[in-house]
Amino acid sequence: MKNSTRDSINFSALSRRLLGVLADFALAYVSYYSLLSFPVYASKNASLTSYLYKVLELQNKAEGQVYAEGLSSLIFVFGLYLAIRFYGSLVLGVSFSQWLLGLRAVGNSTWKRIGAGARVVLELFLGPLLIGEILLLFNRPSLKESLSHTRLSSTDGKFSLYAGLIWVPCLILFSTTSPLFKGLSLMQEIVVNPVRENLNLKDQGSFDGFTNYKSNRFKFRAFNSLGDDRFMLLPNFEIVKEGSNKKIKPYLWLYDHKTQKDAYIKIEERFSLLSLLENAKLGNPLFKKQYPILFDTLGQKREQFLKRKYEKAFENKKILSEEVSLEIQDLIYKSLRLGSGSLIAHVFREGPFIRGFTEVRNKIIEKSFKGAVPEIDFGKIGNQNFLRFKQLFEEKVFLDKRMVETYIPIETNNSLTLRFYWGEDLKSALSRKNFRESFLHSIDWYFDYFNIFDFPISSEEVNSLTVLDYFTKTILNKEQRDKLEDAIFRIYFKSGRRALQKNDEVLVEILYANLNRLYLVSNYINESKRNYYSNKFLVHLRDLRQSLKSRDFNYFGIIKK
């Protein structure tokens, strides 16, 4: 009977140490994600991840990134675990969790603290697992105690019993929510609206005035009248400095003749959606069961999901299957919905492993414009499902605009951020709604392809989107360049004439600014590729610009009444 009691006591000492390890690791895990909210720690974590990514050298880059992030997290958590134990031991002789569980340091008050620090240092080599602790079962000091000349004893009492039953399980359970503390995600109140079906496309009536709008840059084709000629799309360009080089970035300038409001449409970033979703596997052993088709897709070679040169035989078929697209939408929706208010419901529905969901949530929110909490919804636009961010800013974020909409396609690996910059007033809201209904929902998207549309055969087929695609590329032959130059003059002459006839001063100013930018970019291109654009074309641009500025009705063939 005596031996049985001794074995029970020794096993109790061993189990307390095991619970102490689990509790301290859980505390380190919570601390790790809390510290990531601070730039200095986030930067160090990113640097370590980048280093490990290079060391791993995996063929699958997305998988290598996930492994590097996981290993980096493990290293930081283990370091914090040792720090928690070390500093706790310097004060108490044991870590705080060990103290709660009834473990006490025995011996000289000074050495039991210094020696405890040495005992923690030994864990660097012996590991946090109970290597050498098995000796406790034979009523002998553990290996770490022997090497550090320290001793630990166990105290019995209700306090340590309750600590074991309450503190440790609660801390471990709480640690599963710690990914929400990364970037203070828990504090962000994000409105995520339910997934919607395709919005109704506004009735287009007859096909009079319809034009084929096609763009290789924006990856779409639309047979449309731009709201019965209510809207106008103009190519525009910004010259940005990237390091020591300058780069020309095209974007669209949208104008509503009815409300006299304008907007800007830009592609800000292109990225691999599957690489982003790789993060969903982090810390979630249930992922394969929750999303079996997506799990298999992520395990395949990423090359087969990259953009491919378009051929008519493809018929704009999407590379990702409908089944995996549904799982992607479900994963993104549940990830974005995750927060303090929905945490308990999420855990009951999906399990306690929330890190993967949180990582996806944070990565996707990073795609929104920084500085305002977005309102989020889902919907089908044309032939593609999109995630949409809507944000209203107190200050202007691009030129004179404060309202930002960001669209992200989620049925393709070859995703992007398509950003609209609008005014915040009622007229701009009406323009936004009408443009979405009359134009956007008629679009066929080609995100999985490149070189989709050839340069038009006829000059009359060249429109503003053709100009956007080809104006800065310097790949056109002389005949194609002549067609492009003729079309640009035709587009702006017609638009300028309309602006003066309607006495639309807003449009006149827009066209003047736009022509000025075209003229500057043309000269910039001619500097790098001599005489790419003809002198005749440059003179036409200059004359158009000057005639708009001076309101020269005669130049545009307008007879004033």
Q: Which domain holds residue 78?
A: 2-175
238 shares a domain with 94: no
At residue 4, does pLDDT exceed 50?
no
Indicate the residue among 425, 453, 481 that finishes a domain: 453
221 shares a domain with 152: no
What value does the mean pLDDT take over residues 402-430? 95
What value does the mean pLDDT take over residues 260-283? 93
Sign of CA dihedral 394, 397, 400, 404: negative
412 shares a domain with 303: yes
Indicate the residue among 150, 175, 200 that finishes a domain: 175
> What pLDDT was estimated at residue 7?
43
Task: Mean pLDDT check: name the lowest of 51-65, 264-278, 365-379.
Answer: 51-65
Q: DSSP states of 284-323 as a string?
A: -TTHHHHSHHHHHHHTS-GGGGS-EE--GGGTT--SS-HH
Highest mean pLDDT pick, 105-119, 327-341, 532-546, 547-561: 532-546
Q: Is residue 249 part of a domain?
A: yes
128 shares a domain with 221: no
> What pLDDT was estimated at residue 511?
96
At residue 295, does pLDDT exceed 70?
yes
Q: DSSP assignment, residue 453?
A: S
Task: Mean pLDDT check: name the lowest of 46-50, 114-118, 145-149, 252-256.
Answer: 145-149
What value does the mean pLDDT take over residues 452-460? 89
Indicate the residue among 139, 159, 175 that finishes a domain: 175
Instruction: List pLDDT tens digits, range 268-279.
Output: 999 999 999 999
- The answer to whether 95 and 24 have CB atoms below 8 angstroms apart is yes
At residue 200, does pLDDT exceed 50?
no
What value does the mean pLDDT take over residues 20-24? 84
Domains held by the chain: number: 2
Highest mean pLDDT pick, 27-36, 455-464, 510-519: 510-519
103 shares a domain with 193: no
- The answer to whether 184 and 37 have CB atoms below 8 angstroms apart is yes
> Per-residue b/e over 192-206, b at no fewer than 16 CB within 10 Å?
beeeeeeeeebebee
Mean pLDDT of the chain: 84
> Which residues 6+ apart lie within 8 Å of 502 measured at CB?
257
pTM: predicted TM-score of the whole model, two decimal places: 0.77
> What pLDDT was estimated at residue 397?
85
Q: State how far the Cα of 345 lies from the Cα of 197, in Å rounded to an integer.
A: 25
Q: Is residue 81 part of a domain?
A: yes
At residue 265, does pLDDT exceed 90?
yes
What value does the mean pLDDT take over residues 425-452? 92
Query: Helix (H, G, I), strand (E, B), or coil: what is residue 41?
Result: helix
